[in-house]
Structure 1
Amino acid sequence: MNTTFNPQRTGMVAAACTVVALAVGYAFPQWQFLLAVALSKGLVALGLVLLLRSGLASFGQGLYYCAGAYSVGMAMTYLEWNNLVVLLVGATLLAAVLGGILGFLLARYRDIFFAMLTLALSMILYGLLIRNPVLGGSDGFNVYAPVIFGEKLSRPALFAVTVILTGVTVWAIQRYLQSRAGRLGPAIKDNEVRVEYLGASARRNIHLNYILAAGLAGFGGGLSSFSIGHIDPDMAFWTTSGEFVFIAILGGTRNAYAPLLGAIVLELIRSLAYQYAPNTWQVVMGASMLALIVFLPGGLISLTQRALEKRRARQHAQEAGL
């Protein structure tokens, strides 16, 4: 994989993907909700990619996804805030600060210990939410359309905002992955001791990635709450966190665009399976996911790598023929 840092190309790819998503959404309005939810979940999986590149799997990103969503719901319910920017910034900062605090503990652990600790922390939040009526109990909160520039956002406008914000975020994370700090992740996964010998702090880099992953999850939770219109404790349940891990693996970890692709494909398969096989949709979905994992172990994004390799092979063959 070519890791040469090219900000212009990164921006062009992000802009092209954003335009395509907007075009598809407005050409097929019935898919706007699915795309908006998929992109929101893709942002959470994007944070997981940062950790997976360092060899760590978090089964507790539902903690920050739920924290971001609940910050939006509670701010609307108790503080009567409705400004989109304020709500999303608050959701992101709350999740990032929480991730920063817990990261001091989690950055010390690796492998199964890291995964189980993240899962345990997420389930603690789930238990607190489901038994606390002040926090909505098992019913949660309703979330209403936010306001920007004094105007309440309609569904199509909210979809456009979600796509644009996602595009900007993916562009920023892709640039991070191509920076020195971003490239340390695979090096830590390969040999953490060697990274330490070279003068870089593996623990500090993992802590930074964990904070970024938490912030992305909170941001995705805030966006998701607007699209769905309701939040509940299940957002912190272990199955939700497991879905984010699956999305990250399904898309791949080669770049920042992969988890968004994985999230869209997963939501599309789920929607079609539920529509055409309502009684056996879980079986259809499971079989589809199993086939994708078996035949594309590198994730969906590996298809682009295969296409590039075939293109280079043809070019070399043509040059050799000349």
Structure 2
Amino acid sequence: MKTRSLALLFVLGLVVIAGGLLLPQWMSYLFTIAMGKGLVVLGLVLLMRAGLVSFGQGLYYCVGAYVAGMLTQFVGVTDILVIMLASVAVSVAIAAIIGLLLCRYREIFFAMFSMAFSMILYGLLVRNQFLGSTDGFNVANPSLLGWTPGAEASSDLVLIVAVCLVIVLGAVAWRYLKSLSGYAGEAVRENEIRLEYLGGSVFRVVYVKYIIAAALAAIGGTITALVSGHVDPEMAYWTTSGEFVFIALMGGTAHVAAPIVAAVLFEALRTYAFAVSPYTWQMILGFALLAIILFMPSGLWSLVERFQNKKARKTS
């Protein structure tokens, strides 16, 4: 069963890559952006399954993007794999320090403190003239193992890397959630005292999840920076982090594929809403989220679960 699932995942990845390359350039761009944001939301889902909601994932999303931009513009490093590793390393180092304080808090305190750190970064970037202040700066086209594609081919390169990362990291996240450490997160959400009584460390469980979420956010920010060719402080603003929470609520937390699917639908919905009503498109998104909360409180993935349950009842 596991072998068949992995084979199906591999075939699906090839189909997605082929479809992305055949799509018009603007659709391929939106799809790549959705893959990056989906990874950020995947990390957020790990925290939400432990009962924590972070309004500060924009911090690591922005750090990953700015590391990519600074490496390409100021250091001359354009290899996409090196950039990814550097972005993750910097974000994990920052998360390891901030997490020592942040992971001691719960509920609204965790959410607000996480947003506070993100807004601190936003304020520092806005006042930094060297990094372009509010305008940000451009990011050079990436390369791969010495191969430097053209302007159009570089976006295809980022798309392929993004889809591969989504598949690999999604599979790893699924295995993690099915492990003892993954289930410990649900124990934190339900009863921290009982987990401590059984010998588990609540702080360690939350701390590890926070660092994993930071790494995923950094990868998502790097993908966004490389495909868009630009970074700016808005990536650390609280509305960006709120957007990630929006997508997480939209997809639900029942499966690792939910945030990826929700991110794609979110980008499609926002593009359509902006085309139809450029001055009130936020209202359309608000009504969409309100409808999901009212009719599908567990997110869009609950539709898949209903279909699976219905199929199982017919089989039995």
TM-score scaled by length of structure 2: 0.94
For 1:177, the equivalent position in structure 2 comes to: 177
Deviation (angstroms), 1:149? 2.3
CA distance change for structure 1 residues 305 and 9 in 2, over 3 Å: closer, same or farther?
Answer: farther
Unmatched runs of 5 consecutive residues or more in structure 2: none
| Alignment correspondent of 2:128 | 132
Distance 1:284 1:249 in 2: 16
C-alpha contact 1:14 1:170 (8 A) present in aligned 2: no
Are 2:283 and 1:283 equivalent residues in the alignment?
A: yes
Structural mapping, 1:180-191, within 5 Å? 180-191=180-191
Q: CA deviation at 1:7?
A: 4.8
In structure 2, the residue corresponding to 1:134 is in which secondary structure?
Answer: coil
The 2-side partners of 1:302 and 1:95 are apart by 32
5 Å matches for 1:1-322? 7-8=2-3, 11-12=6-7, 14-30=9-25, 31-153=27-149, 154=153, 155-316=155-316
**Which whole-Å deviations, capped at 9, do the CAs of 1:97-134 have from their partners, x for residues lacking one?**
11111111111111111111101000000000000112
CA, structure 1 residues 148+259, in 2 after alignment: closer, same or farther (shift >3 Å)? same
Q: Given residue 125 of structure 1, which amino acid in structure 2 is its aligned partner?
A: L
Question: Greater shift after overlay, 6-15 or 197-206?
Answer: 6-15
Give the residue type in structure 2 aligned to 1:24.
G
Structure 1 residues 9 and 296, CA, compared in 2 at 3 Å: closer, same or farther? Answer: farther
Between the two proteins, the alignment pairs up a number of residues equal to 311
State the one-letter code of the partner of 2:195.
Answer: V
Measured after TM superposition, the shift of residue 249 of structure 1 is: 1.4
SS in 2 for 1:55: coil
User: CA–CA distance in 1 between the matches of 2:212 and 2:4?
Assistant: 23
Following the alignment from structure 2 to structure 1, what is the Cα–Cα distance between the partners of residues 11 and 178?
A: 19
C-alpha separation in 2, matches of 1:249 and 1:287: 13
3-state DSSP of counterpart to 1:81: coil
Displacement of 1:96: 1.1
Q: Contact 2:119–2:237 (CA<8 Å) still a contact in 1?
A: yes
* Matched residue type, 1:29: P
Which AA in structure 2 matches 1:149?
L
Give % identity.
Answer: 44
Distance 2:242 2:35 in 1: 17
Deviation of the 1:188 alpha carbon: 1.0
Give the distance between the partners of 2:169 and 2:66, measured in 1 at CA.
21
Query: Would the alpha carbon gap of residues 89 and 10 (structure 1) be closer, same or farther in structure 2, given more than 3 Å must change?
Result: farther
Deviation at 1:9?
5.5
- Report if aligned partners of 2:158, 2:223 keep a CA contact under 8 Å in 1: no
Residues of 2 paired with 1:191 and 1:19: CA distance?
42
**CA deviation map 1:218-275 (0-9, x unaligned):** 1110111011111000000000000111111111111211111111111010111122
Cα distance in structure 2, aligned partners of 1:212 and 1:204: 12
What amino acid does structure 1 have at the position aligned with 2:237? Answer: F
CA contact (8 A) 1:14 1:168 kept: no
Residue 227 and residue 126 in structure 1: after superposition, are their counterparts in 2 closer, same or farther (change >3 A)? same
Q: Structure 1 residue 279: deviation in Å?
A: 3.9
Q: What letter corresponds to residue 203 of structure 1 in structure 2?
A: F
Q: CA RMSD in A?
A: 1.5
Q: 1:206 and 1:264 mapped to 2: Cα distance?
A: 28
